[in-house]
Structure 1
Amino acid sequence: MNARLAEKEGFAGLFLRLRAEGLAEKALLTALEQTPRTLFLSAAYTDAAYQDRLVPIDCGAFAESADLVARLISVLSIEPGQRLLDLGTGSGFLAAVAARMCERVVTVDRYKTLVQLAQQRFAHLGLGNIVSRQADGLQGVTGEGSFDRIIATCAFETMPRQFVDQLATGGIMLAPMLQENGTAVMMRLTKIGSRFEREDLFDVPYRAFIPGVAAAS
């Protein structure tokens, strides 16, 4: 199957699955339709682009499914004019979809290769409101001020209180938390004053953060 046909049929299937889940936000569905999923995966995985499963990418990492990306962006409640920090660029698909819904996205990853590949994809799509950096996601970013939304796609072992100061008042952070059995649960953290109000959402397939940036790749 060629990429264009896979894209068209894949998105149609995704659209139906999301509608069945009650995810019918026009801005989200439009952003997904305008962001070709196949562009973010190697040619070997074109047919898997819209399957509801993990897909291998460079540096031993993986891309979460488009279904999960949609669920995450939905619960982030992104609004026009907001600023988003994305911890764990991966393929860049989540950042690209979110960038169509907000004013600015800063995305970081510990692997230089992933950052560079994502930058090429953003440029190809004409997404000039995304800044990509190689950085330690556990530390967030400096020099960017606060963010209205933060999302992490690697799991924390303890409550990520270090991000309270990087989140605007009333802002939302999605952060996976490792459980004793090794699974991760996505938390929605809402900043109230100088603390987080926590709500556990659903299991996610994310691995633990690795501190620092990668020496190679």
Structure 2
Amino acid sequence: MSPRAVEQEGFAALLLRLRAEGISSKELLNAVEQTPRTLFTPPQFQENAYSSRLVPLDCGSFMEGFDFTVRLLHHLSLKPGQRILEVGTGSGFTAGVMGRIAERVLTIDRYKTLVTGAQKNLEKAGIRNVIVRHADGSIGLAGEGTFDRILVTAAFSSLPRVFSDHLVSGGVLIVPIMMSETECRIVRLTRTGSRFDREDLFEAPYLPIVPQLASFL
């Protein structure tokens, strides 16, 4: 099956699954459709590009299942004109979809290998408003101002206060939290002034965040 046929079939199947969950944002789904996931998936795993399975990447990282990624973005409630911070770049696919909607996306990863690969993938997809940076996501990102949305894709042991100053009032932070040694759950925080409202969403496959830049990869 050609890559284009894989994309069309995979997206059609996704629409049916998401509709059953009540996810129907045209803006989000258009952004997903315009960002071919096959461009971000390693060649040996192309057949799983549109599946719900985890797809292995370099450096022990992975691409989340396709449904899971869209579910995350649905709860992020992206809007045009927003500034987005993503902690954990991976293949660059999630940042690419966000870049189709938002004004600017800054995505960071501790692995130089992933940063380089994501930059190439985004270039292939023709997405130019996503900046990929090699940085330590465990300590926040000083000097970059504030963001309307922050998406973290590595788990913290408790709510990370390091991101509170990065979020505007009315902004949303989505972060995985380790509830136990084996259970990780996605948590959404919405900032209103100095108050943060918490909502626990669903279980996630993420591993605990690793501090500092990777020494070799």
Aligned partners of 2:51 and 2:65 also within 8 Å: yes
Identify the residue that residue 82 of structure 1 maps to in structure 2: 82
Does the CA-based 8 Å contact 1:164-1:194 persist in structure 2? no
Across the aligned residues of Structure 1 and Structure 2, the Cα RMSD in angstroms comes to: 1.1
Deviations 1:60-84 (A, max 9, x none): 1110011111111111111110011
Find the counterpart in structure 2 of residue 61 from structure 1: 61
Aligned to 1:73: 73
For 2:54 and 2:121, how far apart are their aligned partners in 1? 20
Instruction: Tell me which moved more, 15-24 or 81-90.
Output: 15-24
Residue 208 of structure 1: SS of its match in structure 2? coil
Structure 1 match to 2:131: 131
- Deviating beyond 6 angstroms after TM superposition, the runs of 4 or more aligned structure 1 residues are none
Letter in 2 for 1:132: V
Q: CA deviation at 1:143?
A: 2.3
Q: Please say if residues 109 and 137 of structure 2, whose CA atoms lie closer than 8 Å, have aligned partners that are also in contact.
A: yes
* Aligned positions of 1:106-145 closer than 5 A: 106-145=106-145
Post-superposition offset of 1:3:
1.8
Contact map agreement 2:36 2:125 (CA 8 A) in 1:
no
Cα-to-partner distance string for 1:125-182 (whole Å, 9 max, x where unaligned):
2211111101111122222210000010100012111111010111100011001242
Matched, 1:43 2:48: no
Inter-partner Cα distance in structure 1 for 2:78 and 2:7: 25
Task: For structure 2, list consecutive stretches of 5 or more residues without a partner in the other structure.
Answer: none
Does residue 33 of structure 1 match 2:33? Answer: yes
**Whole-Å separation in 2 of the counterparts to 1:126 and 1:85:** 20
| Equivalent residue, structure 2, for 1:169 | 169
SS of the aligned residue for 2:96 comes to helix
Matched residues, number: 217
TM-score (norm 1): 0.97
Q: Secondary structure at the match of 1:145?
A: coil
In structure 2, C-alpha distance between the alignment counterparts of 1:105 and 1:20, rounded to whole Å: 29
Write the letter of the residue equivalent to 1:213. Answer: L
Residues in 1 aligned to 2:95 and 2:40: alpha-carbon distance in whole angstroms: 11
Secondary structure of the residue aligned to 1:186 is strand
Tell me the equivalent position of 2:21: 21
Is contact 2:35-2:96 (8 Å) kept?
yes
Q: Tell me, in whole angstroms, the C-alpha distance in 2 between the residues paired with 1:59 and 1:102.
A: 28
